[in-house]
Structure 1
Amino acid sequence: MQIQKDAEILQPQDWTFPVPIAYGPGRLAEIGERCVALGVARPLIVTDRGSQTLPFLSKLQGSLTDSGISSDVFFDISPNPRDDEIGAGRDLFRNGGHDAIIAIGGGSAMDGGKSICLTANNEIDLWAFEFEQPVPEIASSKPFPTLITVPTTAGTGAETESTAMVTHVKKGMKFCVWHPDLKPSLALLDPELTISLPPDLTAWTGADAMTHAIEAYLVPGFHPLCDGLALEGLALVSAWLPIAVREPENMAARGGMLMGSCLAGISFLKGLGLVHAISHMVGAEFNTQHGLTNAIILPVVLRFNLPGMEPKVKRMAYAMGLNDHSIEAFIAEVERILDDIGIPKSLSAINVPLDCSQRIAGKAKMDSAAATNPRTASVDEIRALTETAILQAR
């Protein structure tokens, strides 16, 4: 599959699908004037704890100040956002008289910002927005705040939708919250913001994007829009991820990854699979990095899912530029990329204990991603997959 040339990737672009997207190096400088155009007067910037001292925050606030816009920052968001943190962010939004949220950072910042947005202007409990629940009715007099998303990692693809993963502290489980009426008014994709990302986070978040593309494409059902985005996202990520890890200042690689991540993120509106179902619950219990957890589990679930799916494997292999379109060759290429970018070979390497497997399996079976896995799995089968991932995933 043909991959875009460097010169094309470096050109600024404005797109309107599925939400307004401003893509291109250096475009964070436009955030102030973009807020003015959207009628935003006092945004709350939401990021994660690890990003509170990074230069992009001062650049963001500087652009806002230059446009006459004041802002506050909420950074009390964990790598796996918790429901109590969302409540604290909602209180700051209300007490500060804010009218918009700018979510900037990695996946946790995106999830935190979107979750705060869901509850900022209403008295609806956060968990009423859980994906499996009836969609709450939002009064026209109290619409959701304006939402702007600015990803600084190329992995989650969380910038174009309202879906967010949040840990229910009492249950020790992750759940997806969302509302169809919450859409970002702008997703600003600036590859320059990913340049300073350390190699390990570049690898982990990039592997997350690869997992999104693969799992979304394997979800059963007729959805050519999502399938096309998944394949193009996979093509971009598989081509540019190893380069981005090896050459962190390669702007074309950073741009290719940011767009591949975005496309893969849109594609999983179709659904995900057991990689995410297991990873969500491991992350909720052990606070592991989500993309890293996905990356370790991915080959285990592929070996379970792919037999009988040869036509889809052929198209994915072609997207990755492989001459051999067999299941074995496809899994081998995925594993080669994971080796190339330094992904550990087991969950035990990131301190996930074997004795959690039954508990994780039971929770994973209830995850919404398990319902769209292409092969139905029992709790015992999920437990076996989890144990394999803990002991020796590849």
Structure 2
Amino acid sequence: MSNFKLNESDILSNQDWTFPTNIAYGAGRLKEIGTICNNLNIKNPLIVTDKGSPKLPFISNLQSYLSDSNVKSDLFFDISPNPREDEVSVGCKKFKDGNHDAIIAIGGGSAMDGGKLICLTANNDVPLRNFEFELTPPIISKDNPFPKIITIPTTAGTGAETEITAMVTYLKEGMKFCMWHPDVRPSLALIDPELTIGLPANLTAWTGVDALIHAIEGYCVPGFNPLCDGAALEGLSLISKSLVTAVEQPDSILARGGMHVGSCLAGISFLKGLGNVHSISHVVGAEYNTHHGLTNAIVLPVVLRFNLPGMEEKVQRMSEAMQYKDHSVDAFIKNMEDLLDRVKIPKSLSELNVPEDSAARIAEKAMKDQAYGQNPKKVSFEEMKEMVLQSIKKAR
């Protein structure tokens, strides 16, 4: 029997939980996209992807599957690795000019965020800024609903395919903001592990560790949500069995499938929230245009050393899910550092050209990030600045 007891305030209080959306999983299921559109009465979708993807085979395959089912489509690919508000405006214009009735967002997290951001403002005149997570969601008339959106991830990383939130970079402030509306829920998330087979080893590692961090941070956020926590622990279990193999044996559909499902579950787990790995990473990404998963991966050990002492029960559950033997806090952090070494994650943000003299500014902005308020421990400015400095100089 466990020494850990039920939390009375959790179990004896009222709770409201939702689960995100319909998910179609399986190798080769991209071929079903035409039938899926017909079933959803989608006749002319705008395909949204990122700047690096228009010439990749999954785009031409997607377009030919659509045309085989008599579904018209057009392509918008002017989305940066950290999507910007000006790009969203251009995408909205393309959506309107083409009389599109839906969005198919395909690619990594930036492509899916781009698709969701266009979705928020394509059918209305509400400024994008009004959809900020902290604000009361704008009232959207039922006569003029958001377009339907289908999400198709091609990396096992962000988990953005089931979420109703999207990150956008505002260049003027040099900050990322989280946008959402409760009614922008993907009609379907299509998860086909064959789409990740061609992903290079470094991107497989960066996106895979991003998924790992979503599960860790989502699980460590306070609050009683057994749907999210169950998803986090099963996500950790699948990721721990799949990540190294996916990086080192990239053609393994088994490892790719394990990562794809693990990433999806990790994405669901952070409906609860995230923490200071993300609050720091969001600012670094906005200022220095770094890869989100890679930035997260470098920062992870620094934040774990701050957060995990005193969270022994959660650490034990995560450690058990990942099949480790020693479930102490120190052992868990060491295991994470060993995993980062194994998949060749750099040891400091300075290797991404983030300068030491930016630490105070990054810390200050990170404390304004939404994830800061969800971190399991309160962090002062001095502590945050020290974590940023450690991440820049030597994170592990």
Q: Aligning the two structures, in what range does the TM-score lie when normalised by the shorter sequence?
A: over 0.9
Q: What is the aligned partner in structure 1 of residue 14 from structure 2?
A: none
1:94 and 2:129 matched: no
Describe the superposition over 1:109-135 as per-residue Cα deviations: whole angstroms up to 9, x where unpaired: 010000000001000000100100111
Deviation at 1:18, TM superposition (A): 3.1
Tell me the distance in 2 between the aligned counterparts of 1:378 and 1:110. Answer: 33
Q: What is the aligned partner in structure 2 of residue 164 from structure 1?
A: 166
1:354 and 2:363 matched: no
Q: What is the aligned partner in structure 2 of residue 103 from structure 1?
A: 105
* TM-score, with length taken from structure 1: 0.95
Q: What is the aligned partner in structure 2 of residue 175 from structure 1?
A: 177
Deviation at 1:17, TM superposition (A): 5.5
Q: What is the aligned partner in structure 2 of residue 291 from structure 1?
A: 293
Tell me the distance in 1 between the aligned counterparts of 2:355 and 2:305. Answer: 22
Give the counterpart of 1:368 among 370, 377, 381: 370
Runs of 4+ in 1 over 4 A off after TM superposition: none
Give the counterpart of 2:71 among 69, 72, 76: 69
Alignment map for 1:10-159 (pairs within 5 Å):
18-159=20-161
Give the counterpart of 1:393 among 387, 392, 395: 395
Q: What is the aligned partner in structure 1 of residue 206 from structure 2?
A: 204
Tell me the distance in 2 between the aligned counterparts of 1:221 and 1:104. Answer: 32
Q: Is the 8 A contact 2:20 2:185 kept in 1?
A: no
Deviation at 1:170, TM superposition (A): 1.2
Which consecutive residues of structure 1, in runs of 5 or more, have no partner in the other structure? 1-15
Tell me the distance in 2 between the aligned counterparts of 1:187 and 1:242. Answer: 25
Tell me the distance in 2 between the aligned counterparts of 1:255 and 1:202. Answer: 13
Q: What is the aligned partner in structure 1 of residue 3 from structure 2?
A: none
Tell me the distance in 1 between the aligned counterparts of 2:211 and 2:336. Answer: 13
Tell me the distance in 2 between the aligned counterparts of 1:105 and 1:243. Answer: 22
1:252 and 2:265 matched: no
Q: What is the aligned partner in structure 1 of residue 276 from structure 2?
A: 274
Q: What is the aligned partner in structure 2 of residue 13 from structure 1?
A: none
Q: What is the aligned partner in structure 2 of residue 7 from structure 1?
A: none
Alignment map for 1:307-318 (pairs within 5 Å):
307-318=309-320
Tell me the distance in 1 between the aligned counterparts of 2:172 and 2:241. Answer: 41
Describe the superposition over 1:329-379 as per-residue Cα deviations: whole angstroms up to 9, x where unpaired: 101111111110010000001111111111111110011101010000012
Tell me the distance in 1 between the aligned counterparts of 2:319 and 2:271. Answer: 22
1:341 and 2:343 matched: yes
Q: Is the 8 A contact 2:158 2:207 kept in 1?
A: yes
Tell me the distance in 2 between the aligned counterparts of 1:148 and 1:70. Answer: 15
* TM-score, with length taken from structure 2: 0.95
Which consecutive residues of structure 2, in runs of 5 or more, have no partner in the other structure? 1-17
Q: Number of residue pairs matched?
A: 379
Tell me the distance in 1 between the aligned counterparts of 2:367 and 2:304. Answer: 17
Q: What is the aligned partner in structure 2 of residue 6 from structure 1?
A: none
Tell me the distance in 2 between the aligned counterparts of 1:316 and 1:166. Answer: 31
Tell me the distance in 1 between the aligned counterparts of 2:54 and 2:288. Answer: 23
Tell me the distance in 1 between the aligned counterparts of 2:70 and 2:294. Answer: 40
Tell me the distance in 2 between the aligned counterparts of 1:140 and 1:52. Answer: 34
Q: What is the aligned partner in structure 2 of residue 195 from structure 1?
A: 197
RMSD: 0.9
1:238 and 2:235 matched: no
Report the secondary structure of 1:50's partner residue: coil
Tell me the distance in 1 between the aligned counterparts of 2:298 and 2:178. Answer: 22
Q: Is the 8 A contact 2:232 2:266 kept in 1?
A: yes
Task: Return the letter of the residue paired with 1:94.
Answer: K
Q: Is the 8 A contact 2:21 2:189 kept in 1?
A: yes
Higher alpha-carbon deviation: 266-275 or 230-239? 230-239
Tell me the distance in 1 between the aligned counterparts of 2:282 and 2:56. Answer: 27
Task: Return the letter of the residue paired with 1:270.
Answer: K
Task: Return the letter of the residue paired with 2:206.
Answer: W
Q: What is the aligned partner in structure 2 of residue 319 from structure 1?
A: 321
Tell me the distance in 2 between the aligned counterparts of 1:380 and 1:165. Answer: 27
Deviation at 1:287, TM superposition (A): 0.3
Deviation at 1:27, TM superposition (A): 0.4
Deviation at 1:79, TM superposition (A): 0.3
Tell me the distance in 2 between the aligned counterparts of 1:169 and 1:140. Answer: 33
